[in-house]
Chain A
């Protein structure tokens, strides 16, 4: 190990906090992220945790990680490889060994590296030698012993004392980055306000960790990352689920509608319902329904009664909602369905990310069932796409499916807070009482949307339902009427294209290769392509946020490139969809189905192969 004081100036650094699922790593990572963001770094975070609340202690399966990427320049992804790993036990080293950058720093609790724990993690001897990590900067800190020592005069019980270990590790990392402790100290005071013993212990241990790192500085490099030069404005940290919920609240306010959410708890979508349940101050009504079906049906009811209605779920729940989603298709009521995708099929990988519900959203229902399908690209993007999903749902009187995923839902980034006055208006197509009878399925000539008459409006009484109807709202099995209605519902969804912005090409509009992503592929695709461009390759990128309908300039963009490659976290669902919609082109695929996001490296490697192939 190096025996000198070393400060590394970097454009960006990736830090991963890792430990048992009960070690408090998610909180530690979140506190570090916010501190960095407040300092002015651009950041991107990604939590990676097991679905068990408390998986067997000390095992690789029980490891909970939180990765944060901080940068002086724009940061689009949580980073491929960690420069700093905090490992609370041997299992954390085992789980993360392959995600470490060359020459990275590993801070570990040497007290937990007992023979028993080493064996539990699946090692036979020295973990660092077995995983060939002996060349890294290893900082062995007897965290357990030091925490006990720091709190030897505390009246806390031994178990509570050990639970402050994460604060010690966090203190050490703060020293490593020359960060301020203030935000974390304020947080501790706020969280443990009613438990002064806990507040005092956590603060003390946090500082103990900081000073310990200072004392042993001679053996470790420390990092300096200058603040990012980003657009002026007021910023906050936001994750995808929170941004989704807030985007819907913003849409309701803008449209002058009451917001209703009917949902059933499901990982990783629950955060949306939880956030909405908090927002009674803004009048949001939330129902934790008895099941997924009741969630969407209550939302349909609320929509019929004139609310901006939402249901949120993940893949398995989305499957349960499909019959009711068709009821919203048939009754032509505005409805926003959020599917926070996770690894499937079936229960699959509840806490992991995947983009494999695209076909479910597009096709997974009986009959001809057109819905608008959208996908958010980054955690903060979820705000705008949730807003836009609501705007389209209301203005076109249609269900809209918004796809996010575990990676976006739990990942966070700094977000320049918009002003509500800058958000687009939402025009609600209210029906009005006229001299002629209200026809429930009379349509706007351009949008093909019907008018919204809601209970309580005098003289507009009418009936809707799942049976096929005529323009007048009477049940009809007439062959011609059915075909007409099937076609007009389809045409209505296609008409949404008028409100879909054109694709923006990142890079030149012509070239050797166009890398195509959709939804949450955004960060990795953009970073990989930008780096390749800097390295001199003739490559561009587009990322789709509108799946059905596709942007009007899709073919025009594709036309400019010799090769097209679609990158997505499934076996090629979007690529196959494009093969149907734009049959003229050949689509290469780069797919990954590991429950993990892409890495920038793997996209770059694949692109280079594509570019070099003739």
Chain B
């Protein structure tokens, strides 16, 4: 994890705005993500030059240009290995990876699962709009089955990836979900991701106003969102609903939505969220909840402490350097079998 410095950095969100004109479509969810991130960084006490924003290709991946920090706009699908190389080269940096559902899960799927498995300390913000935007409207690996797009004119016949399940299945230690324009929740989630030591994976429910408008409508519009989402916070009971009268319980190893006060169920029966539980079972179930049977889970669903890749590498280097007699290239060249002429 990037070290916070002792001197105070009094940043405001504006300090993180670059001189580049933001070119996303008006109303695009990406604007909300950018704003929340800039606000989050201003609240962290980390010198600006220690941030690196890395991306692949797609609408999401333009974000580094708009962030007044070090930035690397990579190639399609490869943000994770670029970010990995940066973090290994200089573990003192805080590395953020901006990606989308196509970039991270189609062309970059392999890198995505391996970054998570290694638990390298990078923050992945995955903009999930369930569509290819920059190429103008083809289905993505998270498009709902049956979605009609330019490359699926009769509806997709593919089962989508569920990002939370994929992350936890790849040994993910941190998984959170937020919504593009829920600035308060996003700020909360991004901050937790920033302070988490290890691969922090954040899925952002993001709306593409042009090619997949309203894909997330049931969980984002004011009328239905409170009944269709549950915000999980560590140590708090899993209660949700417009009237805060619904909750989650575990029954026969399955999650179940109940109404508090009905069938003798009280608040005490409702599950309490433990984001730090190493066993992934409950987190997997929470991350996988989907409408109409369940609300979609938001907030930090899983956050467990573990050794990171960069720490393990540092430890191994220290150990080997202490034990080895070779301290310079000259010594290396003269090690082993040599002879004099």
Contacts and interface: CB of A to CB of B under 8 A. Distances in A.
B329 A250 contact: yes
B319 to A, nearest CB: 8
Interface in A223-249: 230-237, 246, 249
A281 B111 contact: no
A315 interface: no
Interface stretch (A129-137, A145-153, A304-312, A393-401): A304-312
Interface string B218-254: 0000000000000000000000000000000000000
B293 to A, nearest CB: 35
A294 B78 CA distance: 7
Given A294-B111, A297-B85, A300-B85, A282 B78 contact: no
Given A461-B69, A462-B70, A280 B64 contact: no
A237 B50 contact: no
Interface string B26-68: 0000000000000000000001111110100100000011001
A246 B90 CA distance: 22
A323 B75 contact: yes
A253 interface: yes
A27 B57 CA distance: 48
B166 to A, nearest CB: 15
A605 interface: no
A380 B328 CA distance: 19
Contact of B332 (A282, A306, A327): A282
A304 B86 contact: yes
Contact of B64 (A305, A460, A463): A463
Nearest to A281: B324
B114 interface: yes
A295 B88 CA distance: 13
B34 to A, nearest CB: 14
Contacts of B291: none
A183 B337 CA distance: 9
A306 B69 CA distance: 16
Contact of A287 (B48, B49, B84): B84
B40 to A, nearest CB: 17
A598 to B, nearest CB: 29
B152 interface: no
B327 interface: yes
B328 A262 contact: no
A360 B65 CA distance: 32
Interface residues of B, number: 58
B62 to A, nearest CB: 9
Interface string A296-322: 011111111111010000000000000
B74 A232 contact: no
Given A234-B340, A260-B88, A301 B54 contact: yes
Contacts of A40: 339, 341
A599 B315 CA distance: 49
Contacts of B47: 458
B268 to A, nearest CB: 46
B92 interface: yes
A263 to B, nearest CB: 12
Contacts of B328: 253, 282, 420
B75 A324 contact: yes
Interface in A252-305: 253, 258, 260, 262, 279-283, 285, 287, 289-291, 293-295, 297-305
11 contacts: A281-B327, A297-B75, A300-B85, A304-B72, A305-B90, A455-B52, A456-B49, A462-B71, A463-B70, A463-B72, A475-B20
B337 A34 contact: yes
Nearest to B85: A301
B326 interface: yes
Given A282-B326, A307-B89, A324-B78, A459 B73 contact: no
Contacts of B324: 280-281
B87 to A, nearest CB: 8
Given A280-B316, A455-B49, A417 B334 contact: yes
B329 A289 contact: no
Given A282-B329, A463-B73, A294 B321 contact: no
Contacts of A249: 329, 332
Given A301-B86, A455-B49, A234 B70 contact: no
A450 to B, nearest CB: 15
Interface of A: 34, 37-38, 40, 183, 230-237, 246, 249-250, 253, 258, 260, 262, 279-283, 285, 287, 289-291, 293-295, 297-307, 309, 323-324, 327, 331, 416-420, 454-467, 474-475
Given A237-B337, A249-B332, A298-B81, A285 B72 contact: no
Contacts of A420: 328-330, 333
A475 B49 contact: no
Interface of B: 18, 20, 47-52, 54, 57, 64-65, 68-75, 78, 80-90, 92-93, 110-111, 114, 313, 316-317, 320-321, 323-324, 326-330, 332-334, 336-341
Contacts of A331: 72
A281 B50 CA distance: 27
Nearest to A290: B114
A304 B338 CA distance: 38
B233 to A, nearest CB: 33
A302 B81 contact: no
Nearest to B71: A463
B49 A458 contact: yes
Contact of B90 (A235, A237, A455, A465): A455
A461 B341 contact: no
B329 A302 contact: no
Nearest to B318: A280
Contacts of B69: 461
Contact of A290 (B50, B111, B313, B332): B111
Given A282-B326, A290-B114, A327 B75 contact: yes
Contacts of A301: 54, 72, 81-89
Nearest to A305: B89
Contacts of A303: 85, 89
A460 to B, nearest CB: 7
B85 A298 contact: yes
B26 to A, nearest CB: 20
Nearest to A300: B82
A305 to B, nearest CB: 4
B71 A302 contact: no
